[in-house]
A = this chain, B = another copy of it.
Amino acid sequence: MNQVITLAKRPVGKPSMSDFSLTTEDKPSPADGEILLHAAYVSVDPYMRGRMSDAESYIHPFEVNKPIEGLAVAEVVESKNSDFEAGDFVVGFLAWKEYQVSQGKGLRKVDADIAPLSAYLGILGMTGLTAYLGLSEIGKPQEGETLVVSGAAGAVGSVAGQIGKIQGCRVVGIAGSDEKVAKLTSEFGFDAAINYNTTDDMATAIAENCPDGVDVYFDNVAGEISDGVHQNMNRFGRIINCGAISGYNDTSVPTGPRVEMMLIKKSLLMQGFIVGNYEDKFPKASKQLAEWLGEEKLKFSETVVEGFENIPKAFLDLFEGKNRGKMVVKI
């Protein structure tokens, strides 16, 4: 039998285990032109919370009682498609199923000799591309500028900060525990890091750690943490709105200081970033990321949970900040 995880119902507020269902179906067989895939690593990502609601968004919602889909690395275990052989590993958007068939459309082969398979879900996958393209397309950091990253110990944030360092910026990270903060400076080379859970006044903490103000803000969290960063933005600053995890589980639109006056007074730019808008830039960006990884200029961290049945729990743990770097599930 083949294990499958479906969306049992649409979460209201914070998702819980009861929103997911672990079911079984017959193991599928590939028809001509198809391949049979066995999941190797499954990615869980905060943006997936959005697809569990039926609100209008840039990507269509998951359907209730249907398998959830996301990025995964899978092994080709049987091939009736001349583009693939048994033993190939591929990455792409796949259903949360142990086994599934595919015509191969949208799948890309990956090479375990270049990097561990899980890296293709992280630093060499969407999260690495998000960090790289968010900075290069919106943030445009210049040597000597100051970059602040929120959610800095997360999959995207830890890469964004390291790219900022490669590009000659002062880089300050914001994360939610002393352990994460220590890792940012000791392991990922951030110049400074702030634990928002032990900081009463984020605006002052940012000012202390960014003596020349903030030129680029790579924002993964929004909310009150970001209010403190906004107050320290320099004229002509750029805010990359990449995520807003602080509000993903809110059932109404959160309120806060209106930004318009600040944007005008400081000639600031805020822009929503979705990596999928920049597909034409993926090949060049992937090449650069692999190069930096090979040169050991970029490190990546991941939290690996084991077992297909633990995918929902791993997803829920993202909202508790339990991951360090990219959260993946090894099947």
Task: Determine if A267 and B257 form an interchain contact, defined as CB atoms under 8 angstroms apart.
Answer: no
Provide the residues of chain B in CB contact with A269, threshold 8 Å.
269-272
Task: Verify A226–B260 contact, CB threshold 8 A.
Answer: yes
Q: A235-B58, A255-B255 are in contact. Are A222 and B267 (CB under 8 A)?
A: no
Output the least CB separation between A54 and chain B (Å). Answer: 13
**Which of A4-12, A241-249, A286-294, A315-323 touches B?**
A241-249
Determine if B260 and A244 form an interchain contact, defined as CB atoms under 8 angstroms apart: yes
User: Is A115 interfacial (CB-CB < 8 Å)?
Assistant: no
Shortest A58–chain B CB gap in Å is: 6
Counting chain B CB atoms within 10 Å of each CB, which of A235, A256, A260 scores highest?
Answer: A260
Contact partner of A247 (CB less than 8 A), chosen from B235, B260, B270, is B260
Q: Which one of B58, B243, B259, B261 contacts A259 once the chains associate, using CB atoms below 8 Å?
A: B259
State whether the Cβ of A258 lies closer than 8 Å to any Cβ in chain B: yes
Known: A57-B265, A58-B267, A272-B267. A247 touches B241 (CB 8 A): no
With contacts A264-B244, A268-B272 taken as known, whether A258 is within 8 angstroms of B50 at the C-beta atoms is no
Binary interface encoding of chain A residues 276-296 relative to chain B, with 1 for a CB under 8 A from any of its CBs, else 0:
010000000000000000000
Contact yes or no, A253 B247, CB < 8 A: no
- CB of A274 within 8 A of chain B? yes
Interface pair B257/A242, CB less than 8 Å apart: no
Q: Known contacts being A257-B255, A258-B256, is A273 close to B265, with CB within 8 Å?
A: no
> Apart from A259-B259, A264-B273, A267-B272, what are 12 other A-B pairs with CB-CB below 8 Å?
A50-B265, A58-B266, A241-B260, A241-B264, A244-B261, A254-B257, A262-B272, A267-B271, A267-B277, A269-B271, A270-B271, A271-B271
Residues of chain A at the chain B interface (Cβ within 8 Å): 50, 56-58, 219, 222-223, 226, 235-236, 241-244, 247, 253-274, 277
